[in-house]
Copies of this chain bind each other. A is one copy, B any other.
Amino acid sequence: MFKGLEGVYVAESELCLIDGENSKLYYVGYDVEELAEKSCYEEVVYLLFNRRLPTKSELAEFKSELIRHRALWSEQLEFIDKFDGSKEPLGLLSSLLLISYDIDSKYMGNNHLTRAVRLVSLMASGLAAIIRKGMGLRFVEPNPALGHAANFLYMIREEEPDEEDVMMLDKLMILQAEHGLPASTFAALVTASTMADLYSSLVSGLLALRGPLHVGASEAAHNQLLEIESPDRVEEWFSRAMAEKRRIMGFGHRVYRTYDPRARILKELAHRLAVTRGGEIRRLYEVAAKLEEVGIRHLAPRGIYPNVDYWSPIIYMALGIPKEYYTLMYAMSRVAGIVAHVLEYWTDNKLIRPLHLYTGEKGKRYVPVEER
């Protein structure tokens, strides 16, 4: 019995190597720290889809393809307009993707790679439209002069974002682009293994992000900082949380038993924002830094450290993203890894069909309801 499939290898992959012991993460052999420092999200998507870095002209072509695929058709905009996404934004975005399969088919072919690129662009445009609608503001057309991260912020703000904001979002998106086979990516693979289409596979995966047990708990991590309020309340809050056996949000990971390398980079970014922005950002950064210190002191002996969701709330807050969309921001980055895993699995597809162990009684005789 392999309940939870813990420790079970279900596929070969060249997409990422998680070195939990040394606190390192590599995409297609490249250290994610180096990618976050020197690359951009578009290049990382290319890397994951093609399992190699692009040449200069390939990257330029890939970027323009992403730009071309940013458009939302009128049926998609009407759909977003009709449903208020502020309560169930992940359901709304998933629903948008499902109705888009048919709409997109009219405008572009069925080529997997074209559809993969479209999905990356559609996730960003669709999410921007849903956030605007949730804010009660009208849709902003994408700006073809801007890169992926910059355009997303533009579509939310209706004005060009400054460089620091773009840099922050771009790095965060790189760090969240891929991470092996968590439940979300694995659910996508299970659906894809039936040779269902890319849109359906992606949505199967995205829906797993709705669950609180999936990493993607940055909203809860944010609320935790708000609850603690100030650094000098951390010790007391933490002791009570431990006494009540409450989980510390943004701590712990099934794979990492050391400090999550993504969290290390995000902490630096959060620190930079605390300095440049001050105010509320600085206050919550200080709460988070103190909680991290106390948390590590108590939990590190059990292999529990901050994960990628621990520091991202500080960055989202600085970018002006409302909390209810944090999971979708994660999804907007992770679309690259989910789609890349599906494309890779399809190169040597095998239907995923496990077994259950029957533990019930056998040979019961049916008695008609009148005689029960």
Contact = CB atoms under 8 A, between A and B. Distances in A.
Interface of A: 1-17, 26, 28-31, 34-35, 38-39, 43, 51, 53-56, 59, 75, 78-79, 82-83, 87-88, 90-92, 94-95, 98-99, 101-102, 180-184, 186-187, 190-197, 199-201, 203-205, 207-214, 254-255, 349-364, 366-370, 372
Contact of A6 (B203, B208, B353): B353
Nearest to A60: B369
A356 B8 contact: no
- A195, A203, A255, A359 pick with most chain B CB within 10 angstroms: A203
Nearest to A185: B356
Given A9-B354, A191-B210, A197-B210, 4 more contacts: A14-B358, A55-B372, A94-B98, A183-B353
A212 B351 CA distance: 10
Contacts of A211: 191-196, 200
Given A190-B186, A351-B254, A362-B26, A208 B204 contact: yes
A366 B35 CA distance: 7
A254 B231 CA distance: 58
A98 B87 CA distance: 12
A42 to B, nearest CB: 11
A79 B91 CA distance: 14
B360 A15 contact: yes
Contacts of A213: 193-195, 349, 351
A14 B210 contact: no
A201 to B, nearest CB: 7
A5 to B, nearest CB: 4
A354 B88 contact: no
A254 B194 CA distance: 13
Contacts of A39: 366
Contacts of A197: 210
B194 A369 contact: no
Closest 3 CB pairs of A and B: A194-B211, A14-B360, A196-B211
Given A5-B352, A364-B28, A372-B56, A193 B204 contact: no
Contacts of A356: 9-13, 15, 180-181
Contacts of A35: 366
Contact of A354 (B56, B78, B90, B186): B186
A355 B185 CA distance: 11
Contact of A353 (B83, B182, B190): B182
